[in-house]
Amino acid sequence: MADPQKAPNEYQVADPAEFARNMVKVAVQSQRLMTDFLKGQARKSKSNGQSQDPLNLGQTFVDFLGHAMRDPNHFVEANVRFWQDHLALWQQTARGMLGQDAPPVIEPASGDKRFKDKDWSENQIFNFIKQSYLLSARSMQRTMGEVKGLDEKTRKKIDFYTKQFADALSPTNFLMTNPEVLRATFQSNGENLVKGLNNMLKDLERGKGQLQIQQTDMAFFEVGRNLALTPAKIVFQNDLMQLIQYMPTTEQQYERPLVIFPPWINKYYILDLGEKNSFVKWATAQGYTVFVASWVNPDATLAQKTFEDYMREGIFAALDAIEKACGAKEVNAIGYCIGGTLLSATLAYMAAKGDNRIKSATFFAAQADFSESGDLQVFIDDAQLQSMEEMMKASGGYLDGAKMATTFNMLRSNDLIWSFVVNNYLLGKDPMRFDLLYWNSDTTRMPAQMHLFYLRECYKENNLARGKMVLGGEKLDMSKVKIPVYLQSAKEDHIAPYRSVYKSTKLFKGPVTFMMAGSGHIAGVINHPDANKYQYWTNEKIPERVEDWIAGATETPGSWWPHWDKWLSKQSGKKVDARVPGDGKLKVIEDAPGTYAKMK
């Protein structure tokens, strides 16, 4: 228990007069905040042409209630469990207040950072609030999740949005129930709330009436100044991408170049954030001739670009350009996330056409079989896709990058939404400087035709894995792809879950290496060996089930990059004199990172 002599001082206003003045400022700012928000909502309702229920939650919960009402005893039993849990909590709290040993009734899940402040454990009042919330959240999610008769898609949707609701109600998100915020408010005489509301007003203004939470110090970073600094040149460009060729750092390089196709949902420089975490800098130092596609940030003029256009003007254009740049007709390729899905589809198309220019493929956190693609599935149904199509038409034929970012942030709402609400608005702190969060906020737009094809064909229908996707008049058959494949997954990936990535081991029919890294969708990929972080698991066997693969896997501490390098070097041919951008048939257009990477 906290020191009884210390606790009152921590939760006592330092200067009542100053506190009162700041509360007046808070009242004035709150009024302006509400006015700006309502104006933004009015503008949105007039201009976006979107359904009033874009997430199709109304019908989802109608279906839920229809099944729930058939079994009223379920809710009676749930209420009994709820009160039994809280009775145990009351008893535990009473024992604690009497100075007796009182082990917690419930603890936060491993990795839950919300309750790290000491008073969540040491102060009996806040300890009670914490445990009461955790019991209530568990009861709510269990009660909703155990309703019988729901189809699997509806159940997943109910589970997801119930968790979103529970996360939003966390006591950490409110002034009066967060000990850290309360202490800051009393000790600063409310100055934290004044600053926090200023931060919120700026975020509303930047989002034009929609709250666009700033995750990092956006003014501190600039692409080409303190991000994406590995020396390179733009040697080719078209409507959809600029091709970057990196300067060699070794006298000789492998004969077969390496070309990387990042996701076009964000900018390419996740692979080149800084000196100490740049994948492309490290790969160049291993002796690879590295090319990277830097995708354009499309506007209304590119609204009709299709998934097939990304294949032809992206992958095929890059292959043609690489041959001109250094005379190499054969390459090794990497596809990251949606770039990997495109690469999978392209390989199937190339196999059908007898095109064998790509000799090996590596996939970073990429899916080809979407049957177990995780929580993103809750956003994909006919009603939501129809609503998205209407919204994209109204906005000029593309999906705004901020809306895509919000969707991804919801998958980890406590880390990527509510932690910033607490830091920026309740504590009144400036966002920290973090290169990865800057990249995460540097969003790109999605052309309507391409994006709807991707969502319908992959997430909704799973046509690539089922052999029913058609590109360029060819029905794609993944079993025809027989080149060596390296599949990277990550244990905590919430966008491309490892069990979903593992399904690709059954689609490709050549030699397949599957590897699972520690951490998630980004840190599981971008893990420089010098950092000595995380670990990875390998298993030479590819059993039917991923659980069996894990059971037989070997854990190795640190980065998986050297393991991949050992694999790729065997696919890369002999060493030749290093290639310098501009020495071949393609002349340098401009220095990297290039125009496309800086487009807003």
Q: Would strands 358-364 and 398-399 be described as parallel, antiparallel, or unpaired?
A: unpaired
**290 phi-psi bin (left φ>0, alpha ψ -120 to 50, beta other):** beta
Judging by DSSP bridges, how do beta strands 446-447 and 535-538 pair with one another? unpaired
Torsion over CA: 472, 475, 481, 486 (sign): positive
Distance CA 240, CA 305 (A): 9
Mode of pairing for the β-strands spanning 258-261 and 331-336: parallel
The DSSP line for 21-51 is HHHHHHHHHHHHHHHHHHHHHHHHHHHS---
**Residue 287: alpha-carbon gap to chain centroid:** 31
Distance between CA atoms of residues 148 and 400, nearest Å: 38
Q: What residues are annotated to the active site? A: 337
Instruction: Say if CB 444 and CB 265 are below 8 A apart.
Output: yes
Residue with tokens 């155990």: 146
Separation CA 424–CA 418 (nearest Å): 10
d(CA 191, CA 426): 10
**Contact residues for 486 (Cβ-Cβ < 8 A; gap 6+):** 360, 361, 362, 363, 513, 515, 564, 567, 568
Q: Is residue 277 within 8 Å of 531, Cβ to Cβ?
A: yes
Cα(311)–Cα(474) distance, rounded to whole angstroms?
Answer: 13
Say how far apart CA 445 and CA 266 lie, in whole Å. 9
List phi, psi (to 5°) of 138: -65, -45
The count of residues in the chain is 600
Give one DSSP letter per residue of 306-369, joined into a string. -HHHHIIIIIIHHHHHHHHHH--S-EEEEEETHHHHHHHHHHHHHHHHT---EEEEEEES--S-
Q: Which of 322, 280, 259, 253 lies closest to 569 in space, CA to CA?
A: 253
Give bridge partners of residue 488 from the DSSP assignment.
364, 515
**Whole-number Å distance between alpha carbons of 461 and 169:** 35
Calpha distance 144→68 (Å, rounded) = 9
